[in-house]
Amino acid sequence: MSRKLFKFKGGVHLSEHKAESNARPLHAAPLPGKLVIPLRQHIGNPAKPVVEVGERVLKGQMIGAADGYISAAVHASSSGIVTAIGPAAVPHISGLPDLCITIETDGRDEWIAHAPLDYQAMAAADLRMKLRDMGIAGLGGAVFPSAVKLDPGAAHSCPTLIINGGECEPWITCDDMLMRNRAGEILQGVAVMRHLLGSTEILVGIEDNKPEAIAAMQAAAQSLDFAVEVVAVPAIYPAGGAKQMIETLTGKQVPSGKLSTDIGIQVFNVGTAYALACAVHHGEPLISRLVTVTGHVLRPQNFEVLIGTPMHTLITLAGERDDSTGALMGGPMMGMPMPDLEVPVVKATNCILVKSNALFPPLPKALPCIRCTRCADVCPAELQPQELFRFAKTGDFGRAQEYHLFDCIECGCCSYVCPSHIPLVDFYRYAKSEIWAREKEKRAADLARERHEFREFRLAREKKEKAEKLAAKAQAARTQAGLDQAKRAELPAAPAPELATAPSDADAKKALIAAALARAQAKKAEVAPKNTDHLLPATQREIEEIEARRAKIHELARQPLESEEKKP
């Protein structure tokens, strides 16, 4: 274990508060009477419901299908009856309800038929689709659909695979407990990742404050038929951030605005590897995860929890205490306050941190920035937070972007050290959302303008075509008249006048029919393919340009706004 480690810039040393929750053994949380399963638990398109109210569902049954490439399915975490499909409270910073499927459980916990996947025999694309349909998404916090990340793309392989067991946020111990208890399964998941990504170097990064987890992972790595290097990394927040873990282990930085795969590195959380192992080796979709319940509770500990379990159930299990001041999902640095405690555990729920005024005193009032640049000293993105703050505060969003606002990972180090107690990250979130909103508005305006332009163009073209058609018709009529005249003039010159009458009748009829046919054909030719055929090259180019612009706008509108960063 003499791997040369690198130091990322910045970071802060925090009180760990890990011992509170990792001393008690792991327990499975009991089956709740009601499961509320949001359809949007991952980054990308929300899943589409595929069950109906009143339908009986089995454990592991898909209830929401993945919608598109960047999406993931959701499943019933236990058997029961679907009682509602509609908006319900979800753990989201906005506090707004989102589409959820509510299941009244029947206590039988009856599995749907499922079988292990022979992943080595499957085509890679099929396996990825299968994983998407099994709802596998990143469990480190960002919940990005794993199937997408397991596609090495044009490079055909991703040489370095990093398994992130950093878990640098204070209080949270679910990854620690998972590694201690399920190291073998995690590495089985890693084997599947290695298979799909064609990785040759596999590193597991674990903060050195988790010696038991490191030992368990190292022991499990011994029995593998491929090399996995378990590396202890210095415990400093945010060492568990994907970019920071990459830099610590490889010395490389992910280029701004690019993905780690662009430098041949892919990072997965240990929990994701475990979920992958369950999916492949047992055919079980992602319906449960480990959740740390800690903070102001009597018995802080980790539970294996079914997705959809109300958070309050878990707090009760851990021993609710008086005078709590709400709960966070996640840790104190990046976690979000829960609007109420009836919200369900979702794939992103790594921790429920119950607050109290003693543990988390209300933050003091902010003073003005004195430009001390402590924030810049601790910023792992190597930004100048004091400048970003100034730009965000004054609404100078353009300059904020110039100063790389979007490279901010919102780790909270700057806010933590600020002697003026300014909620800096909040200002960055505000600036980001303002910029997104403006871009969205601009896109909508562009789209409207394009539509308007195209309509104007279409109207003008139709008018022109109508005029041309009329002219052509008039021309055709004139030509026909000319022909008829000529025909009539020719008729007397026919060989035998006595013979001519009978055939001439027939001929005239034939000519009339032919003329009518010709007219009809001409008309058809004029009308049907008018959108694309017989256009002037300039017009054609104009249309193509407009179409290209529209396509670009559509493309832009389709792109996910959120960066795919994994949270530390």
Partner 1 sequence: MPSPFILDRSSVTQVMAWVLAALLPGVAAYVWLFGPGILVTLALATVTALAAEAAMLKARGYPAKPFLTDLSAIVTAWLLALSLPALAPWWLIVTGTLFAIVVAKHLYGGLGQNIFNPAMVGYAVLIVSFPVQMTQWSGPLALTETPLTLAQSATVIFGGDVPKTTLDAVTMATPLDALRTGLLQQLTVDEIMTQPIFSQFGGVGFEWLAAAFLLGGLLLWALRIISWQVPLAFLAGIWLAAGFLHFFDAGRFGAPWFHLFAPSVMLGAFFIATDPVSGATTPRGKLIFGFGAGLLTIIIRTWGGYPDGVAFAILLMNLSVPLIDQYTQPRVYGTSGRGKEPPA
Which residues of the chain form contacts with partner 1 (CB under 8 A)?
9, 12, 14, 93, 170, 243, 253-258, 328, 330, 332-337, 355, 360, 363-365, 367-374, 376, 380-384, 386-387, 402-404, 407, 410, 412, 415-421, 423, 425-426, 429
Nearest CB to partner 1, comparing residues 285 and 412: 412
Nearest CB to partner 1, comparing residues 274 and 428: 428
Nearest CB to partner 1, comparing residues 208 and 382: 382
- Distance, in Å, from the CA atom of 148 to the CA atom of 268, rounded to the nearest integer, reads 12
Nearest CB to partner 1, comparing residues 200 and 373: 373
- Minimum distance between the CB of residue 358 and partner 1, rounded to whole angstroms? 13
392 residue type, one letter = A
Nearest CB to partner 1, comparing residues 12 and 36: 12
- Distance, in Å, from the CA atom of 308 to the CA atom of 31, rounded to the nearest integer, reads 10
- Minimum distance between the CB of residue 252 and partner 1, rounded to whole angstroms? 10
- Distance, in Å, from the CA atom of 347 to the CA atom of 401, rounded to the nearest integer, reads 31
Task: Show Cβ contacts of residue 478 under 8 Å, excluding neighbours closer than 6 positions.
Answer: none
- Minimum distance between the CB of residue 175 and partner 1, rounded to whole angstroms? 19
Asked whether 36 and 305 are in contact (CB, 8 A), the reply is no
Decide: residue 198, CB within 10 A, 0-12 exposed, 13-18 middle, 19+ buried: middle
- Distance, in Å, from the CA atom of 1 to the CA atom of 14, rounded to the nearest integer, reads 26
Asked whether 330 and 410 are in contact (CB, 8 A), the reply is no
Nearest CB to partner 1, comparing residues 170 and 285: 170
Asked whether 567 and 142 are in contact (CB, 8 A), the reply is yes
- Distance, in Å, from the CA atom of 300 to the CA atom of 298, rounded to the nearest integer, reads 6
Nearest CB to partner 1, comparing residues 393 and 443: 393
Nearest CB to partner 1, comparing residues 12 and 177: 12
Strand partners, 207: 233
- Minimum distance between the CB of residue 65 and partner 1, rounded to whole angstroms? 33
- Minimum distance between the CB of residue 169 and partner 1, rounded to whole angstroms? 10
- Distance, in Å, from the CA atom of 568 to the CA atom of 554, rounded to the nearest integer, reads 32
- Distance, in Å, from the CA atom of 137 to the CA atom of 44, rounded to the nearest integer, reads 11
Nearest CB to partner 1, comparing residues 151 and 426: 426
- Distance, in Å, from the CA atom of 197 to the CA atom of 162, rounded to the nearest integer, reads 12
User: What are the distances in angstroms from CA 115 to CA 112, 137, 161, 190, 278?
Assistant: 10, 20, 27, 20, 11
- Distance, in Å, from the CA atom of 143 to the CA atom of 38, rounded to the nearest integer, reads 13
- Minimum distance between the CB of residue 322 and partner 1, rounded to whole angstroms? 20
- Distance, in Å, from the CA atom of 240 to the CA atom of 531, rounded to the nearest integer, reads 56
3-class SS of residue 160: strand
Strand partners, 35: 103
